[in-house]
Structure 1
Amino acid sequence: MKSLKAILVHFLLTLFVIAVPAQASVILQYHHVSEDTPASTSITPQQFAKHMQYLADNDFKVLALNNVIDAIKQQKPLPDKSVVITFDDAYLDILENAKPILDKHQFPFTIFINPGIVDKGSDHYLTWPQLKAMADDGVIIANHGFEHESWARVPNDMNINTWLAQKIALLKKAEKKIKAETGQSWQYFAYPYGEFSPRIQQLLEQQQFIAFSQQSGAVGLHTDLTSVPRFPASQPYDKLSSLKDKINALPISMSISDKDAQTIYTQGSLTHLTMTVNSKDFRQHQLNCYVTTLGKQPIEWLDDKSFTVTFTKPLPTGRVRSNCTAPSIEKPGRYYWYSKPWFILNKDGSWYPH
């Protein structure tokens, strides 16, 4: 029989776990809010309104992006059930269709823009005066690169160091332009197409930029600020049933070797992934990992913290992700969620189309 002291200690620890706020937030990524734009980057205004209404009806705290990033930098607790709303590309329908819905709920949001594209002018893109008015209204205007060009695709005829210097110069040019036109300079950068490499991550960290990716996952105090995950919420991921799981997701601290941290592979060259998990709030047998087009993959636990995912087939060419999830013991109904992205080239080393 347990002693009274042991029972008391267990009780106090339980109270502590319950009292400590979850170190978690979720960032949603949208593009178009329209019925007349490509489905793969769009959500209808009606469905977007349902997303926002669900957040409002279920007591989610919609935070400005800088609130979450500052908390991570300062290692301060993130409010439980907190969500950030972001858009990639300066589409006019964000202003026409999304902003009225967001304003109705007084939800803050961020737009990642390409100044070079805005400069060209288009009936489908926001103008600088429109962006300035939105910035003055509290919208965060952030960097998506000067043009919408990949930060992973090094041209075959160019020295990589020359190419990297050009990319940084364009990044700074974009940031300077955003500052001049909107008065804002957050040094937040969203990878175009979500494509990046460890070398790019290191370079952005040296330039003191926070970088946002497109792989799924919740955000926590251990989140790598050179690849902050965001949940895509446009079609085909716009159903409320899947949104509910995402916005209730919990972050899990995973570590991988430098070798496994690579993101760019030729088809057939990557066969497995080994990760170390820093959490005991789930049961090993309940961890599942799913890979794009391959489905659920076999997991072998190497010890009480490390496991290997072995792929049953070669990873397909293109943007590929492994999503690993496990139900929380302490927070029933909520799942830990970690995503690892890869960019799989053709067998001859050429890039897949955008």
Structure 2
Amino acid sequence: MLKPMLKLIFALMVVVSGSVVANELPNICSRDQNVNEFTILSYHEIAAKGETLDSTYTVTPEHFNEQIRWFIDNGYHFVSVDDILRYRKNSKLLPDKAVLLTFDDGYQSVYANAYPVLKKYKIPTVIALVGGWLKSKEKVDFDGHMIDRSKFLSQKEIKEMVASGLVEIASHSYLAHKGILGNPQGNKQPAVRTRQWFPDKQVCEDETCYEQRVHDDLLENSNFLKQYTGQKPRVMVWPYGYYNTKVTKIANKLGMPIGLTLDDGSNTKITPLSRLRRILVEGKMTLPDLKLNMLVRNANFTDDARTTKAAHIDLDYIYDPDPNQQEKNLGGLLDRIKKLGINTVYLQAFADPDANGAADYVYFPNRNIPMRANLFNRVSWQIATRTQVKRIYAWMPVIAWELPKNSPAAKDLVVTLQVDPTHLNMGYPRLSPFSPKAQKVIKEIYEDLAKSVYIDGIIFHDDVTLSDFEDDSKAARLQYKKWGLSQSVAKIRADKKQFAKWTRLKTEYLDDFAMELAQIVRNEQPGLKTARNLYAQVALSDNAEEWYAQSLKDSIKKYDYTAIMAMPYMEQASNSTEFYDNIVKRVKEGKCGLERTVMELQSVDWRKNSEAISSSELSQTIRHLYDLGVHHIAYYPDNQYKNIPNADAIREDFTKKPLRMHTIVPSNVTSNK
């Protein structure tokens, strides 16, 4: 039976959307099982239609009144920043269903249309101000448009609201509420997190300059607001919701330990004060929509509830030495993605032109491996801002890197003792995960990826693996000694107890290394999700962990999603239906197995010269998997030039709309030049 809260959400979803299917319901496998302590709402303008600067995020006065009355009538309690701090620091309990109101950007309409309501009901509020806009005397450069200064709060209005004791002033940056050039193709991206691209020098801003720029902006705004409003801000509201670990540390040092984001999810006891989450209240959000958002947050469901409908896309299909042709290719991809109706993209971030299984190039600036083209940032941003896709994962190898010969780690390779013809052997070059030099290079590659692109997740390539004859390198042998094992693969294999221990430790070691890489990226992309490709045999054979150092149970536990390469023709399965059934059966045996597993289907048969799998067969397979209870589906490869798979058919298969939290895309952060 559905739990009471889940029943309520289900009923409300039916009211809001008109129809709901079972696999769209939020899952209850969030990694943060704590309860929601308080909800924060992000408002912008409160203005009538026709009087707004940006209708996307404008709530009419009538709707604002309606929403506030609903909160009051339904037992919600408005709290202040002080209330939250006293709770976090002194354990003074918050009231049930606690809500904090915030207003971004400092529009004059907040004073005219919201402040009277706040005074009437004595509602504490945070107003985030952009110092550079307030300092302007006549015109404000608002998202590239010159707006009359009177559209924003005056000093007198701000001081009046502060004097009421209801309003706390927050920083919203001094001049960083804008987009700056983020790549050679001309995309403007959020200034707080983007390393600026300098076209004249063809380089990105270095880390020292980046940190100094952000520091100076936040310091200037803090000083300005103290002088202008009489209140020094202790809250930093990140423009457009974008931030990273570095800028939160900068804000904290400047006296702003509280950070407000637009991240998805609840504010539980483990949510840092520097990363508090908010619901963005949009103009089109009806009262039933807001009710749904509140229920979802209170139940601590997040975007994980969205069913995955993913295409695994090769960036090699977009790359072209001719920039004009490359842009045409990208335009074709965007059109295709819209037609496909997918909500998730696994986007290739590396290139392997010699097809030996190891990455020779990447599509982003970095210190260690040649860049084929500075392309990933461009493509991922265009997909995020111009299509319906809600999550973009960077598809990255973990150890399958073919480094330049002059790299200190180039020769630190996995050593295979011998090949066993009875099961799959990797057969491609990989850096030894036990080599400190190799680890350093790989970590730096991931660090550079994180700084140069905007992504929602990482999907690790199928190379997070070592066979039962690997690794016999010098570095690996030293690690085996630390584990209390013999220092050669041959000796370990000769001892059943050692072999079992070795297998388990290798599996854990590889997964832990992948998690370490994810954390490096997460420092820059705090909401990062993790996924990994897993061989189908790992879900089918009891001996698979020995062969691959991969475990289905461990994978489901450690990664947000496990994308099983459910490809019967590649595996030469005699019966495709039984192949899928057996995988799903094993997945269901684990806790949260279905919620955290993606079934990744093959769209071509590589054993028949990449002949396309028919649309009818793909559709039948997807329907069958849904019947088995599978939530998440992906496919590989996608060929936009041959329409493989058929876009119309895939869209039909992926028509069920998933639950989606609201996000904000800044209007001046562009997808085009």
TM-score under structure 2 normalisation?
0.37
Per-residue deviation at 1:206?
Answer: 4.6
Give the CA deviation at 1:32.
0.6
Q: 1:131 to 1:309 in 2, by over 3 A?
A: farther
Quick check: 1:233 aligned with 2:296?
no
Deviation, 1:179, is: 1.3
In 2, distance between residues paired with 1:229 and 1:29?
A: 10
* Structure 2 residue 268 is the aligned partner of structure 1 residue 220: yes
Contact 2:240 2:664 in 1 (8 A): no
Measured in 1, the distance between the counterparts of 2:81 and 2:456 equals 38
2:200 pairs with 1:200: no
Q: Which moved more, 1:153-162 or 1:26-35?
A: 153-162
- Aligned equivalent of 2:125, options 106, 109, 120: 109
1:32-51 CA-partner distances (Å, limit 9, x unpaired): 11122122111111111100
CA offsets, 1:93-136, max 9 Å, x none? 00011111222222121100011110104010111121111111
Q: 1 or 2, which has the higher helix percentage?
A: 2
Please point out which of 267, 275, 290 is paired with 1:243: 290
State how 1:311-326 maps to structure 2 within 5 Å.
312=634
Secondary structure at 2:196's aligned position in 1?
coil
Structure 1 Cα separation of the partners of residues 57 and 259 of structure 2: 20
Give yes or no for contact 1:87–1:110 (8 Å, CA) kept in 2.
yes
- Aligned partner of 2:78 in structure 1 is 62
1:129 to 2:156 alignment: yes
**Aligned partner (choices 105, 110, 120) of residue 94 of structure 1:** 110
Match of residue 145 from structure 1 = 173
Contact preservation (8 Å) 2:280, 2:663: no
CA distance in 1, matches of 2:590, 2:132: 50
Alignment of 1:211-290 (within 5 A): 211-236=259-284, 238-248=285-295, 249-250=297-298, 252=300, 265=453, 270-271=458-459, 273-274=529-530
Aligned to 1:51: 67
Whether 2:209 is the aligned partner of 1:162: answer yes
The CA distance in 1 between the partners of 2:218 and 2:291, in whole Å, is 35
Deviation at 1:304, TM superposition (A): 4.2
List per-residue Cα deviations over 1:9-44 (Å, max 9, x = no partner): xxxxxxxxxxxxx66110000001112212211111
Q: Deviations over 1:123-180 (max 9, x none)?
A: 1011112111111112111100012243111212332211211211221111111112
- How many angstroms does 1:234 deviate by? 2.0
Q: Distance in 2 between matches of 1:113 and 1:145?
A: 7
The alpha carbon displacement at 1:269 in A equals: 8.1
Amino acid of the structure 2 residue aligned with 1:155:
Q
1:184 aligns with 2:247: no
**Conserved in 1, the CA contact under 8 Å of 2:78 and 2:101?**
yes
Same amino acid, percent of matched pairs? 20
Question: Structure 1: which 5+ residue stretches go unaligned?
Answer: 1-21, 276-283, 290-297, 315-336, 344-349
Name the larger-Rg structure.
2
Cα distance in 2, alignment partners of residues 268 and 106 from structure 1 = 39
Matches of 1:268 and 1:23 in 2, distance apart? 23
Matches within 5 A, 1:304-343: 304=591, 308=596, 310=598, 312=634
Deviation at 1:226, TM superposition (A): 2.2
**One-letter amino acid of the counterpart of residue 169, structure 2:** I
| Shift in CA distance, 132/31, structure 1 to aligned 2, threshold 3 Å | same
SS at match of 1:164: helix
Work out the CA distance in 1 between the residues paired with 2:99 and 2:86: 15
CA deviation vs aligned residue, 1:170-225 (integer Å, no higher than 9, x gap):
21111111112222124210111111223333443454522111123322221122
Q: Would you say the 8 A contact 2:105–2:128 is kept in 1?
A: yes
* Number of equivalent positions: 281
C-alpha contact (below 8 Å) 1:81/1:247 kept by paired residues: no
Q: Which runs of 5+ in 2 are unaligned?
A: 1-34, 138-148, 179-190, 199-204, 303-442, 461-528, 532-555, 562-583, 599-632, 637-658
| RMSD of Structure 2 on Structure 1 (CA) | 4.0
Q: Relative to 1, partners in 2 of residues 1:129 and 1:163: Cα closer, same or farther, differing over 3 Å? A: same
Change (3 A) 1:27 1:264: farther
Quickly say closer, same or farther: Cα 1:48–1:128, change in 2 above 3 A: same
Q: Distance in 1 between matches of 2:588 and 2:274?
A: 28
Q: Against the structure 1 CA distance between its residues 211 and 111, is the aligned structure 2 distance closer, same or farther, given a 3 Å change threshold?
A: same
Q: Distance in 2 between matches of 1:160 and 1:301?
A: 46
Q: CA distance change for structure 1 residues 267 and 189 in 2, over 3 Å: closer, same or farther?
A: closer
